[in-house]
Amino acid sequence: MTIDLSVSVGGIRLKNPVIAGAAEHLIHAEGIRAALSTGVGAVVVKSNNEVEASKDQLERSEYTLLDEHWRQVPWNDAAPRSVTLACRSGMSPLPFDQWLEQAVRLDREAKKQDAYVIASLILGALEPAVAMARQIEQAGIRVMEFNVGVPYGSQTAKGNVATELSTEGIREQVSAIRSAVSIPVWVKTSGQSERVPALAGAAFESGADAVIMAGRLLGFLPDPETQKPLFGTSLGVGGFWHLPITCHWLAMTRKALGPDRPLIGINGAQTGSDVLRMMLAGASAVEIASSIMYAGFPALARAVEEVSGYFIDRGENAAAIIGRAADEHRTFMQMPRGDGNWRNYVPADALPASEG
Ligand SMILES: Cc1cc2nc3c(=O)[nH]c(=O)nc-3n(C[C@H](O)[C@H](O)[C@H](O)COP(=O)(O)O)c2cc1C
């Protein structure tokens, strides 16, 4: 039996479900080509928008990896899987025309490899975003991402980037882009919300072809030695620990919107097994972004290999497992009673002597 590793997501077919997600390693052609050569289904380039100050924001960026004691550890491929990445970042430093020309050229190269290079816009102001989306389509890009959930909205200058937390805002923004272009639009939403499924629903109702969930969280880390905040500001934080949160949102969104709304998982995936976990929670494809900045492109190649090996070993097509675990999700009250189970999980001296 030939195993089909392809998945269909948001208007296109990907040769496999692994996507290289946007960050600084995908600014230049060299990085984008290196990502394509790992065999991923698609590469999302570092985002752009019209706001000069958000390019300036990149020049104020900081990045670090933190261990479980919140101590900084070296930024390289020996970093343990358990690190938290804390940073502040900005837009692509490339001027829009140059950025677009590069993306178009690389998307043509990607097509020959049965892959995609996806242009990504981050919402600054809506009118220029619509104009840029039109230019992206006219230039020949086949798919675009529209990120309305960058974590830094509250921390940078007003108007640089948007952290959209209202369904009304999502409707307005996504409808405007939808009516401007006919290529598939994948909308990336914030994870800093208790309403992730509602935000996704609003995006789909307004014409999104897929929803990518979910954007990173904000954190603030004081140092007991200096008594100052790490890097002076709040920071975007992410790491392996976000995976169950992403999977929860994927499963809840699938439950709320049904299995026909294509979801893309992001935030916390580093390996092939992580990609599979997000697929089982309901993702049709999964993006791996920040860990590649320090672990390097071989980590992406390993993820593609692991995912392919899994389906070949099990004799199953990739699309077959999407949402399989999510569909087994139950509420607490549907679970059988295990009388007194909790007693096994507290210190013995927390229980009355008669029970200890
Ligand atoms: C340094 C850095 C730069 C990023 N730049 C972008 C970007 O340009 N566009 C975007 O949509 N997301 C950007 N992101 C968010 C990632 O694409 C991704 O959503 C997030 O890091 C969570 O996924 P991960 O756990 O695989 O890193 C960036 C993240 C980091 C850490």
Q: Express each pLDDT in 114-132 by its tens digit.
A: 999 999 998 888 899 999 9
Q: What is the pLDDT of residue 160?
A: 66
Strand spans (E) along 309-354 = none
Residue whose structure tokens are 């954007």:
215
pLDDT tens sequence across 277-297: 999 999 999 999 999 999 999
Domain range for 56 is 7-331
| Smallest CA separation from ligand 1 atom 21, residue | 290
171 φ, ψ (degrees, to nearest 5): -60, -45
Tell me, in angstroms, the distance from the centre of ligand 1 to residue 24's CA.
8
Classify residue 92: in a domain, yes or no.
yes
- What CA–CA distance (Å, rounded) separates 267 from 263? 13
Q: What φ, ψ does residue 216 adopt, rounded to 5°? A: -75, 170
For the chain, the 3-state helix, strand and coil shares in percent, each to the nearest 5, are 40, 20, 40
Displacement of CA 198 from its chain's centroid (Å): 18
Distance CA 126, CA 205 (A): 18
Q: What is the pLDDT of residue 54?
A: 67
Report the distance separating Cα 206 and Cα 174, nearest Å.
6
Cα 174 from Cα 106, distance rounded (Å): 26
Whole-number Å distance, alpha carbon 151 to ligand 1 midpoint, is 10
Tell me whether residue 349 is in a domain.
no
Report how far ligand 1's centroid is from the alpha carbon of 334 (Å): 37
Provide the domain count of the chain. 1
Q: Which two tokens stand for residue 40?
A: 């991923």
Query: Is residue 136 in some structural domain?
Result: yes
Give the amino acid at 89. Answer: S
**CA 160 to ligand 1 center in whole angstroms:** 16
CA of 13 to the centre of ligand 1 (A): 23
Residue 248 inside a domain? The answer is yes
What is the per-residue DSSP string for 246-310?
A: HHHHHHHHHHHH-TTS-EEE-SS--SHHHHHHHHHTTEEEEEE-THHHHH-HHHHHHHHHHHHHH
Does residue 347 belong to any structural domain of this protein?
no
Pocket perturbation via mutation, ligand 1, pick of 290, 291, 294 by most ligand atoms within 8 A of CB:
290
Residue identified by tokens 């030695």 is 225
Beta-ladder partners of 7: 14
User: Across the chain, where does the E strand assignment appear?
Assistant: 7-9, 12-14, 18-20, 42-44, 62-66, 72-73, 84-88, 116-122, 144-147, 185-188, 210-213, 217-219, 235-239, 263-265, 283-288
The DSSP call for residue 163 is B
Regions in the chain scoring below 70 on pLDDT: 54, 153-154, 158-160, 356
C-alpha 222: how far from chain center: 27
Determine the pLDDT at residue 309: 98
283, 262, 123: which is closest to 184 by C-alpha?
A: 262
Please give the Cα distance from 118 to 94 (Å, whole number).
Answer: 16
- 352 within domain boundaries: no
Residue whose CA is at the smallest distance from ligand 1 atom 20: 267
pTM of this structure = 0.96
Residue 350 in domain: no
Query: In this structure, is residue 337 part of a structural domain?
Result: no
- Using the atom order of ligand 1, give the atom closest to the CA of residue 238: 25
Pocket of ligand 1, beta carbon within 6 A: 21-24, 46-47, 85, 87, 89, 120, 122, 147, 188, 215-216, 236, 238, 266-269, 288-290
Spatial distance between the Cα atoms of 258 and 197, rounded to a whole number of angstroms: 11
What whole-number distance in Å separates Cα of residue 197 and Cα of residue 246? 11
277: domain CATH number is 3.20.20.70
